[in-house]
Amino acid sequence: MAAKGDIIIDIERCKGCQVCLDACPKDVLEMSRKVNSKGYQYTVKVNSDCTGCANCAIVCPDAVISVYRVK
Amino acid sequence: MAEQSIISPENLVYKKTGVMTDRELHYCPGCGHGTAHRMLAEAIDELGIQSETIGVAPVGCSVLAYYYLNVDMQEAAHGRAPAVATGIKRVLPEKYVFTYQGDGDLAAIGTAETIHACNRGENFLIVFINNGIYGMTGGQMAPTTLPGMKSSTCPLGRDVLTMGNPLKITELVAQLPGTYYVTRQSVHTPGNARKARRAMKKALEYQKENKGTCVVEVVSNCPSGWKMNPVESNKWMEENMFPFYPLGDIKVPGKGLVSDGKNGS
């Protein structure tokens, strides 16, 4: 099945709080093994199941996620 | 290939609102302040009142709210945000005025200002972030700290016999005739955050009716103060904060008091 949604993560602003991981209904997100310049692990998209529901972006305290969805 | 085509301007469904500035938030990872700021900003954005809104920033963790919210802002002395907002709203009654305060600001040093502004029925919105602790100064006990909850000044847990009971200030101001709409929300899950945004939007809209003070309490977490990771702190909040601070409307226009604060809704 073709992906319906996609996200862009501003990894430099991510503080690695992992709140988005719980909010994602499709388990699309995981924490990186690397760290960003602030020293935080950041969220990465690991598969193409994203539906573009924007749950991750809404709960992200730092608003690092932009969401795209095929309409 | 398919993924390339999804990321295009016409498919954009969610990004940071323009009512927030580009500045990076100074809050700790996972802090509810960031989401609460954004829900308020989105409510302002949806109503299209960015240029007519004036905010009052408090003292506490959110003291720098004026850096992040892209509306006219005024910093107030500790706890005095409702007094400053009263002045702004009386001089500029056509503007939308809100205060953004934490529990140390609103429920401790600013209790008198809060109660009297609500009792006078000043026509502005109070956004009250309640995380049950003084976050900025290092996690000391606040008036809203739960019984038995540990903080740096009550390391064995709050003992109500010597330290008093937690103050449910939102229920308290809901009793006053000056308040028009009083509700308690949270922003830790997508659904709750959307509800909080709707509540703030409603509260801003009510300012047009000039009927009284609107109070939106947001029960939030404090991962650093509670000494937990953000996900654990959200879980702890659901298990411990929500039974004491039940979510839902407390006072609704037309219906009056709808909750006594003892049961959830």
- From CA B122, how far away is CA B173, in angstroms rounded? 12
Question: At A71, is the secondary structure helix, strand, or coil?
Answer: coil
Whole-number pLDDT of residue B57: 97
Confirm if A4 and A53 have CB atoms less than 8 A apart: no
pTM for the full predicted model: 0.94
CATH number at residue B31: 3.40.50.970
Q: How far is CA B95 from CA B48, B64, B81, B88, B201, in A?
A: 13, 22, 16, 9, 15
Residue B7 lies in a domain: no
Q: Which of B3, B35, B231 sits opposite A61 (nearest CB)?
A: B35
What percent of chain A has pLDDT above 70?
Answer: 97
- 8 Å CB contact of A23 and B35: no
Question: At A66, is the secondary structure helix, strand, or coil?
Answer: strand
Tell me the nearest-neighbour CA distance from A47 into chain B, angstroms.
11
Whole-number pLDDT of residue B5: 76
Domain that includes residue B171, residue range: 18-257
pLDDT at A1 over 80: no
Residue B1 lies in a domain: no
pLDDT tens-place values along chain B, 265 residues long: 455 678 888 999 999 999 999 999 999 999 999 999 999 999 999 999 999 999 999 999 999 999 999 999 999 999 999 999 999 999 999 999 999 999 999 999 999 999 999 999 999 999 999 999 999 999 999 999 999 999 999 999 999 999 999 999 999 999 999 999 999 999 999 999 999 999 999 999 999 999 999 999 999 999 999 999 999 999 999 999 999 999 999 999 988 898 876 654 4
Whole-number pLDDT of residue B261: 66
- From CA A19, how far away is CA B124, in angstroms rounded? 32
Tell me the nearest-neighbour CA distance from B242 into chain A, angstroms.
18
Q: Which residue of A has its CA nearest to B15?
A: A66
| B33 contact A CB<8A | yes
Residue B4 lies in a domain: no
pLDDT at A33 over 70: yes
Q: Which residue of A has its CA nearest to B31?
A: A61
- 8 Å CB contact of B34 and A60: yes
Q: Which of B11, B14, B29 sits opposite A57 (nearest CB)?
A: B14
Q: Which of A6, A40, A61 sits opposite B34 (nearest CB)?
A: A61
- From CA B2, how far away is CA B53, in angstroms rounded? 42
Residue B264 lies in a domain: no
Whole-number pLDDT of residue B265: 42
Task: Tally Cβ neighbours within 10 Å of residue B8.
Answer: 11
Q: Which residues of A touch B1 (CB under 8 A)?
A: none
- If one counts the domains in chain B, the total is 1
First to last CA, chain A: 16
Confirm if A49 and A28 have CB atoms less than 8 A apart: yes
- 8 Å CB contact of A18 and B230: yes
Question: At A68, is the secondary structure helix, strand, or coil?
Answer: strand
Tell me the nearest-neighbour CA distance from B232 into chain A, angstroms.
10
Whole-number pLDDT of residue A71: 78
Residue type at B172 in one-letter notation: L
Residue B262 lies in a domain: no
Q: Do β-strands B125-130 and B213-219 pair in parallel, antiparallel, or remain unpaired?
A: parallel
Q: Which of A22, A65, A70 sits opposite B6 (nearest CB)?
A: A70
Whole-number pLDDT of residue B6: 85
Residue B2 lies in a domain: no
Q: Which residue of B has its CA nearest to A9?
A: B15
With a CB cutoff of 8 Å and minimum separation 6, the contacts of B193 are A58, A59, B35, B39, B186, B187
Residue B63 lies in a domain: yes
Residue B10 lies in a domain: no
Domain ranges of chain A: 5-69
- From CA B2, how far away is CA B123, in angstroms rounded? 51
A/B interface, count of CB pairs below 8 Å: 101
Q: Which residue of B has its CA nearest to A42?
A: B29
Q: Which of B127, B221, B263 is nearest to A19 (CA)?
A: B221
Q: Which of B25, B187, B193 sits opposite A62 (nearest CB)?
A: B25
The hierarchical CATH code for the domain A5-69 is 3.30.70.20
- 8 Å CB contact of A19 and B234: yes
